[in-house]
Amino acid sequence: MTQPLLIIAAGGTGGHMFPAQALAEAMLRRGWRVRLSTDARGARYTGGFPHTTEIVEVQSATFARGGILSKLLVGPRVAMGVLSSAWAMWRDRPAAVVGFGGYPSIPALGAAWLLKLPRMIHEQNGILGKVNTLFAPRVACVACGVWPTELPEGAQGIHTGNPVRRAVLERGGASYIAPGDYPMSVLVMGGSQGARILSDVVPAAMAMLPEEIRRYVRVHHQARPEDHDRVTAFYAEHGIEAEVQPFFQDVPRRMAEAQLVICRAGASSIADLTVIGRPSILIPFAAAAGDHQTANARGLVEAGAAILIPEGMLTPESLADQAATILGHPEGAQMMARAALSAGAPDATERLVSLVEELAGRTENT
């Protein structure tokens, strides 16, 4: 029997790529061929994809970046991308096409629409991104990471949750060692691209912790490359043991070992926290479209698993206060860790897989 082909379209930020990776892992395990259609930016996050994933780089075009000339070229570039994707799809007849948002998903979804191939999209946030808004009424269904998600007229939404990578699932529910008089790990993450504000505030906050906590703290701090040296120097000057990197390849392990996570509220960061189950302090990116990171954080905050500090209220003092509350109260921290687990959807990948199989008209294990 020929292997069915799934085309996954995703790109831009890691936020679109990690859930795409989770689906690729699951479909390959089920015997499908998987082709990822992405752009040069997305290609930076393909290191964790199984090596059997076929990766195709498409021309990506957006009005959001570049000068007048590149804006004028958006239309022709998108048209070229759609046509070349359509040619490949006409030749290879994929059983299904799934988009995860971002401009690089336009060529594959546009081609699937032209050829009337089975297609759907996954939206990670409670508010649809631009490309997903365009395609929502033109696909069989919108798998939603957050529920409820506002959808345009004519779109059919189904709640799946946000799928997480296999490495995260493998740490799912790893037992939590509550804070105490021993080395305590604090993981600081700004999302796939890092966050300047965390590098401005977190080191100073760690330095302000009461001495009985501070002496045990070990920080794992993801900082943008341009902030790396000053953050490293600050921790060293203040005698705080810290590892600073522009991107941690092994977040699942570091998160599982953390007593506290301080991070943005991107959809996959939140999903990782709920699957592994760790207390967190969340600082949503205020400029995110429709303030969707605050919406992403709501579930964890309402479950008692996270403390939210809006960007405007983030100071070394406010952060040190909240971090001390968590690291100084083992029982409370333990409850937060448990509450995080209760807010998760660890079966999100399975739900998405079922939808893809249904879409492709094959429910049997191929």
Ligand X SMILES: CC(=O)N[C@H]1[C@@H](OP(=O)(O)OP(=O)(O)OC[C@H]2O[C@@H](n3ccc(=O)[nH]c3=O)[C@H](O)[C@@H]2O)O[C@H](CO)[C@@H](O)[C@@H]1O
Residue 269 within binding range of ligand X, rule CB under 6 A: yes
Give the SS3 label for residue 58.
Answer: coil
Q: Give the Cα-Cα-Cα angle 171, 347, 55 (nearest 5 degrees).
A: 80
Q: Which of 38, 160, 192, 280 binds ligand X (CB under 6 A)?
A: 192
Shortest CB 41 distance to ligand X, Å: 11
Asked if residue 14 belongs to a known ligand binding site, the reply is yes
**Closer to ligand X at the Cβ: 289 or 313?**
289
- Nearest alpha-carbon partner for 42 in 62, 67, 66, 26: 62
Shortest CB 249 distance to ligand X, Å: 7
Of the candidate spans 7-15, 23-31, 308-316, 346-354, the one that interacts with ligand X by CB under 6 A turns out to be: 7-15
Give the SS3 label for residue 126.
Answer: coil
Asked if residue 165 belongs to a known ligand binding site, the reply is yes
**Closer to ligand X at the Cβ: 160 or 268?**
268
Crossing angle of helices 330-342 and 316-327, rounded to 10° = 90
Q: Which of 85, 285, 306, 360 binds ligand X (CB under 6 A)?
A: 285
Residue 280 within binding range of ligand X, rule CB under 6 A: no
**Closer to ligand X at the Cβ: 227 or 272?**
272
Q: Which of 186, 282, 288, 309 binds ligand X (CB under 6 A)?
A: 288
DSSP 8-state secondary structure symbol assigned to residue 176? P
CB 343 within 8 A of CB 173: no
Residue 135 within binding range of ligand X, rule CB under 6 A: no
Residue 349 within binding range of ligand X, rule CB under 6 A: no
What residues pair up with 241 in beta bridges, in sequence order? 218
Q: Which of 5, 7, 10, 14 binds ligand X (CB under 6 A)?
A: 14
**Closer to ligand X at the Cβ: 213 or 256?**
256
Of the candidate spans 26-34, 53-61, 204-212, 268-276, the one that interacts with ligand X by CB under 6 A turns out to be: 268-276
- Nearest alpha-carbon partner for 13 in 167, 175, 195: 195
Indicate the residue type of 32: W
> Looking only at residues 201 through 240 of this chain, which bind ligand X when binding is defined by CB under 6 A?
222
Q: How far apart are CA 150 and CA 153, in angstroms?
A: 10
CB 198 within 8 A of CB 262: yes
CB 267 within 8 A of CB 15: yes
Asked if residue 299 belongs to a known ligand binding site, the reply is no
Q: Which of 4, 15, 81, 161 binds ligand X (CB under 6 A)?
A: 15
Shortest CB 93 distance to ligand X, Å: 30
Query: Could you tell me where the DSSP H helices lie in the chain?
Result: 14-29, 40-43, 68-72, 74-92, 106-114, 130-135, 166-169, 196-208, 211-214, 228-237, 251-257, 267-276, 292-302, 316-327, 330-342, 348-360
List the strands of the sheet with 260-263, edge to edge. 241-245, 217-222, 184-189, 260-263, 280-282, 306-308
CB 343 within 8 A of CB 303: yes
Indicate the residue type of 16: H
> Looking only at residues 102 through 131 of this chain, which bind ligand X when binding is defined by CB under 6 A?
124-125
**Closer to ligand X at the Cβ: 19 or 94?**
19
Residue 248 within binding range of ligand X, rule CB under 6 A: yes
Residue 251 within binding range of ligand X, rule CB under 6 A: yes
Residue 296 within binding range of ligand X, rule CB under 6 A: yes
Asked if residue 293 belongs to a known ligand binding site, the reply is yes
What residues pair up with 189 in beta bridges, in sequence order? 263
Please count the residues of this chain forming the interface with ligand X, following the rule CB under 6 A.
25
Residue 189 within binding range of ligand X, rule CB under 6 A: yes
Residue 268 within binding range of ligand X, rule CB under 6 A: yes
Asked if residue 132 belongs to a known ligand binding site, the reply is no
Task: Give the torsion through C-alpha atoms of 68, 70, 72, 76, to 10 deg.
Answer: 180
- The site for ligand X (CB under 6 A) is made up of 13-16, 18, 124-125, 189, 191-192, 222, 247-248, 251, 264, 266-269, 272, 285, 288, 292-293, 296
